[in-house]
């Protein structure tokens, strides 16, 4: 079976609906067809230097959310990045074929470093996409299911794989991004022109999967829309309504045109928001309950992660050996 790999950073106490719809739903669908690897990228999270106890806790919470969202550890490999040292090992090799300017052009790096200033920006943030490329290339992944915000990092990964293959001979599989357009960019409810984001200053636009349903209902009722008062599909002029319609369609499976038709007439924003709130709570409640169950006795979760790391190392070890050999590293024995 062809392989896929994806991952999320354990940077927060809960995933938001953008992570869930933009990535996780596709992971769950794809695990049926692919030999799937889902990684909790704790080394990436270290770039924002969380407190160590929080790092441990959030790594488990993130893994628990993978499972609660429908990743089946019998079908897919779920593991923690730092458990598989091959990721950092390959990242070094890839960093030696990455141009400084090429890395400096990454828009996420530019955004983050300009917000912090160069003194507060660590080198890990700069080399972050190279580690991400290693995550992907180590598994010969043919596809990478992510949201739109990861597209540029995927392009860098493809460039690096191609460059390595040209320079050292065929070593890596060149991965395709898998970014289904309907859910690729879920927007903030507070500012429908900005994506829903863990690092947003205004968290009132984020629907958190592990928050109390009450809190999410409140945010949905308060979602920014427009004064035109008619439910129509017009993403350019009515981005707030378009976002609600996208979320509705993704969760209900109902085509946008059908939803719009049901809400014809003036003053139906409240009713649309009511349905969206019901749909969100419907997925969120069992999700949250399952996460709580998994965390209550983390033994089972830790065992899944240990087994996942073993399986990941088997694959990653083989690919790393290929790359080490290609660049001419002398075998250790």
Q: Is 239 in the site for ligand TYM (CB under 6 A)?
A: no
Q: Which region among 64-72, 142-150, 302-310, 315-323 touches ligand TYM (by CB under 6 A)? A: 142-150
Cα 289 to Cα 253: distance, rounded to the nearest angstrom: 23
Instruction: Determine the residue with CB nearest ligand TYM.
Output: 22
DSSP-assigned letter for residue 187: B
Residue 235's alpha-carbon distances to 187, 244, 245, in angstroms, are 11, 11, 10
Q: In this complex, which beta carbon is closest to ligand TYM, that of residue 187 or of residue 263?
A: 187
- Active-site residue 307, yes or no? no
Helix H or strand E encompassing 288: helix 269-296
Q: In this complex, which beta carbon is closest to ligand TYM, that of residue 219 or of residue 263?
A: 219
Contacts of 8 (CB under 8 A, 6+ apart): 15, 19, 23, 40, 41, 62, 66
Residue from 50, 69, 73, 147 binding ligand TYM (CB under 6 A): 147
Q: Is 134 in the site for ligand TYM (CB under 6 A)?
A: no
Q: Is 5 in the site for ligand TYM (CB under 6 A)?
A: yes
Cα 298 to Cα 303: distance, rounded to the nearest angstrom: 8
Tell me how many residues contact ligand TYM (CB under 6 A).
Answer: 26
Q: In this complex, which beta carbon is closest to ligand TYM, that of residue 66 or of residue 263?
A: 66
Q: Which of 185, 198, 221, 307 is catalytic?
A: 198
Q: Which region among 132-140, 160-168, 241-249, 309-317 touches ligand TYM (by CB under 6 A)? A: 132-140
Q: Which region among 130-138, 232-240, 272-280, 302-310 touches ligand TYM (by CB under 6 A)? A: 130-138
- Active-site residue 198, yes or no? yes
Q: Which of 75, 110, 112, 214 is catalytic?
A: 112
CB 25, CB 147: distance < 8 Å: no
- Active-site residue 238, yes or no? no
Q: What is the DSSP string of 294-323?
A: HHHSHHHHHHHHHHHHHHHHHHHHHHHHHH
Residue in the structure block whose two tokens are 């990242």: 91
Counting beta carbons within 10 angstroms of the beta carbon of residue 49, is it exposed (0 to 12), middle (13 to 18) or buried (19 or more)?
exposed
Q: Which region among 118-126, 141-149, 159-167, 295-303 touches ligand TYM (by CB under 6 A)? A: 141-149
Tell me the closest approach of the beta carbon of residue 7 to ligand TYM, in angstroms: 4
CB 32, CB 197: distance < 8 Å: no
Q: State both tokens at 260.
A: 């719009």
Q: In this complex, which beta carbon is closest to ligand TYM, that of residue 23 or of residue 231?
A: 23
Q: How many C-beta atoms surround the C-beta of residue 283 within 10 A?
A: 17
Tell me the closest approach of the beta carbon of residue 333 to ligand TYM, in angstroms: 31
Residue environment code for 215-232, b if the CB has 16+ CB neighbours within 10 A, otherwise e: ebbebbeebbbeeeebbe
Q: What is the largest CA-CA distance in the chain?
A: 75
What x-and-dash track marks residues 15-54 binding ligand TYM by CB under 6 A? ---xx--xx-----------------x--x----------
Angle at 236 between CA 276 and CA 207, to 5 degrees: 30
Residue from 58, 60, 112, 195 binding ligand TYM (CB under 6 A): 195
Which residues contact ligand TYM by CB under 6 A? 5-9, 18-19, 22-23, 41, 44, 132, 135-136, 144, 146-147, 149-150, 153, 184-186, 195-197
Point out the annotated binding site. 9-11, 18-19, 135, 147-149, 186, 195-199
Instruction: Give catalytic residue positions.
Output: 112, 195, 198
């Amino acid at each position: 079976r062809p392989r896929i790999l994806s991952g999320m950073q354990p940077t927060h106490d809960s995933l938001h609906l953008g992570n869930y719809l933009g990535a996780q739903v596709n992971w769950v669908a794809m695990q049926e067809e692919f030999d799937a690897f889902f990684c909790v990228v704790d080394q990436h999270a270290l770039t924002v230097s969380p407190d160590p106890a929080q790092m441990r806790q959030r790594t488990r919470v993130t893994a628990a959310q993978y499972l609660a969202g429908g990743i089946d550890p019998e079908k897919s490999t779920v593991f923690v990045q730092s458990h598989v040292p091959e990721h950092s090992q390959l990242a070094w090799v890839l960093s030696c074929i990455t141009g400084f300017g090429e890395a400096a052009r990454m828009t996420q790096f530019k955004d983050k470093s300009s917000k912090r200033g160069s003194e507060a920006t660590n080198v890990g943030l700069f080399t972050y996409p190279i580690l991400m490329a290693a995550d992907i290339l180590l598994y010969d992944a043919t596809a990478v299911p992510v949201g739109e915000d990861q597209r540029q990092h995927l392009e860098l990964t493809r460039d690096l794989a191609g460059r390595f293959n040209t320079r050292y001979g065929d070593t890596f599989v060149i991965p395709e991004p898998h970014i289904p357009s309907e859910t690729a960019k879920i927007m903030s409810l507070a500012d429908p022109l900005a994506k829903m984001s863990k690092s947003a200053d205004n968290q009132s636009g984020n629907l958190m999967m592990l928050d109390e349903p009450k809190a999410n209902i409140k945010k949905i009722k308060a979602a920014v829309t427009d004064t035109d008062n008619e439910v129509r599909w017009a993403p350019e002029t009515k981005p707030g309504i378009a976002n609600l319609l996208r979320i509705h369609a993704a969760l209900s499976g109902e085509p946008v045109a059908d939803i719009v038709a049901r809400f014809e007439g003036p003053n139906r924003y409240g009713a649309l928001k009511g349905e969206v709130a019901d749909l969100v709570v419907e997925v969120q409640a069992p999700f949250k309950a399952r996460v709580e169950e998994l965390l209550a006795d983390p033994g089972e979760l830790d065992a899944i992660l240990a087994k996942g790391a073993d399986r990941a190392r088997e694959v990653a070890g083989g690919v790393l050996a290929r790359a080490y050999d290609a660049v001419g590293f002398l075998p250790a024995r």
